[in-house]
Amino acid sequence: MSAISRDDVSHLARLAHIDIPSDQLDHYAQQLDAILEAVATVSAVDTADVVPMSHPVPSTNVFREDVPGPSLTASEALAGAPAVEDDRFRVPRILDED
């Protein structure tokens, strides 16, 4: 039984901004299924008494004082940008928006 549907694959592809032709959706659904199945072996572990962990270290309240530190210059910040205009990052318009 396939747990991942064609619709799931198509939804994930949209979220990840990748194009998957419709004739390949089944192919990826099967692959994702196999991967999930492999990972699912961890669910065999009895976790009834285990508190879910989101961080590997059991610490809380790690704060920084509100004191300004060094920033980059505009030319340093923009050095890796594929396109620059007026000291700003130039990006393609990707969504209709505000």
Partner 1 sequence: MSEAVISYDEVLEKFDPVMGLEVHVELGTNTKMFCGCSTEFGAEPNTHVCPVCLGLPGALPALNKIGVESAIRIGLALNCTIAEWCRFARKNYFYPDMPKNFQTSQYDEPICFDGYLDVEIDTDEGRKTFRVNIERAHMEEDTGKNTHMGGATGRIHGADYSLVDYNRAGIPLIEIVTKPIEGAGKYAPEVAKAYVAALRDILRNLGVSDVKMEQGSLRCDVNLSLRRTPQDELGTRSETKNVNSLRSVERAVRYEMTRHAARLLAGERIIQETRHWHEDTGITTSGRSKSDAEDYRYFPEPDLVPIAPSREWVEELRAALPENPAVRRARIQESWGLSDIDMQTLINADLLDLVEEAVAAGVSIEAARKWYTGELSRVANEREVDVASLGITPATLVRIEELIVSGGLNDKLARQVLEGVLAGEGDVDAVIAARGLAVVSDDGPLLDAIKDALAADPSVAEKIASGKIQAAGAVVGAVMKATRGQADAGRVRELLLEHLGVSE
- Residue 83 CB partners (closer than 8 Å, separation 6+): 89, 90, 91
When binding is defined by CB under 8 A, the residue of 7, 11, 27, 31 that contacts partner 1 is 11
Under the binding rule (CB under 8 A), the answer on residue 38 touching partner 1 is no
- From 1-9, 27-35, 40-48, 55-63, span contacting partner 1 (CB under 8 A): 55-63
Under the binding rule (CB under 8 A), the answer on residue 43 touching partner 1 is no
Under the binding rule (CB under 8 A), the answer on residue 71 touching partner 1 is yes
Cα distance between residue 31 and residue 12, in whole Å: 14
Are 83 and 89 in contact by the 8 Å Cβ rule? The answer is yes
Q: Which is nearer to partner 1, 1 or 51 (CB)?
A: 51
Q: Which is nearer to partner 1, 1 or 62 (CB)?
A: 62
Bridge partners (DSSP) of residue 87 are none
Q: Which is nearer to partner 1, 24 or 73 (CB)?
A: 73
Angle between helical axes of 25-39 and 6-15 (0-180°, round to 10): 90
Under the binding rule (CB under 8 A), the answer on residue 44 touching partner 1 is no
Tokens describing residue 29: 């659904």
